[in-house]
Amino acid sequence: MLIRKWCYVDDIFNKRYGYPKGIDKKIRFFTSIYFALAIGDHAIGISNRYFGLLQDFKGNYTAGMYYNRTFRDLFRYVEFSTPLGIYTSLITTQANLTWAFNDMFIILLSILLASRFKQISDKLAKEYQQPNTLYYWREIRQDYNKLCELCVDLNDTISMIVMTSYFQNLTFILIQLYYSFSNVSKRHLRLFRIKEKW
């Protein structure tokens, strides 16, 4: 239903306003930047664990140690094996990319809708001083209403995706915050609590 409506509105706008200028480049740019950042974040996490092992064991470590530390909950119950280690790495990488794709999907839909609203604004800014007929203003209002209805339908359809993305991001931030505080020494925590009481 939403896809049909989106295509219908898109066809109308392509006929009346044309295809949004530079939207393809903008989509490619944001997608490539966002996925590069997601892959970079994942690589930094892996290297952080690697250098943590390097520091703790002074180079005397195995792949099993890395996976036992990274996937404690799994390898507490199952003995480490190389195929299982590779599988867990692939699953983790896929989960990170899926997480990034979820956010990117929301961002791209927003960019596309915003570009259509901008087309209406640009047309009004260009032609506002020209004498226009009642039909012109009715058409503009109808186009604007179609976009607003599409926004409402889109919101109803992807609201759960937006909520999921929001809670995933919030959970990830809280986990990172927890781990950053767990690495702080007890002395610093005491100082923090003293300042908090003041």
What is the C-alpha separation between 106 and 95, in angstroms, rounded? 17
- 59-73, 98-112, 136-150: least confident range: 59-73
pTM greater than 0.85 (yes/no): no
pLDDT digits (tens, 9 = 90+) for 99-108: 888 899 999 9
Per the CB < 8 A criterion, the answer to whether 69 and 54 are in contact is: no
Count of residues in the chain? 198
pLDDT digits (tens, 9 = 90+) for 156-192: 999 999 999 999 889 988 887 887 776 655 555 555 5
Q: Which residues touch 150 (CB under 8 Å, ≥6 apart)?
A: 5, 6, 9, 113
pLDDT of residue 195: 44
Q: Could you tell me the CA-to-CA distances from 3 to 11, 16, 35, 98, 194 in Å, in that order?
A: 12, 20, 25, 22, 57
Q: Which two tokens stand for residue 159?
A: 């609201």
| List of long-range contacts for 3-9, beta carbons under 8 Å, 24+ apart | 5/149, 5/150, 5/153, 6/150, 6/154, 9/116, 9/146, 9/147, 9/150
Tell me whether residue 67 is exposed, middle or buried, using C-beta atoms within 10 angstroms of its C-beta: 0 to 12, 13 to 18, 19 or more. Answer: buried
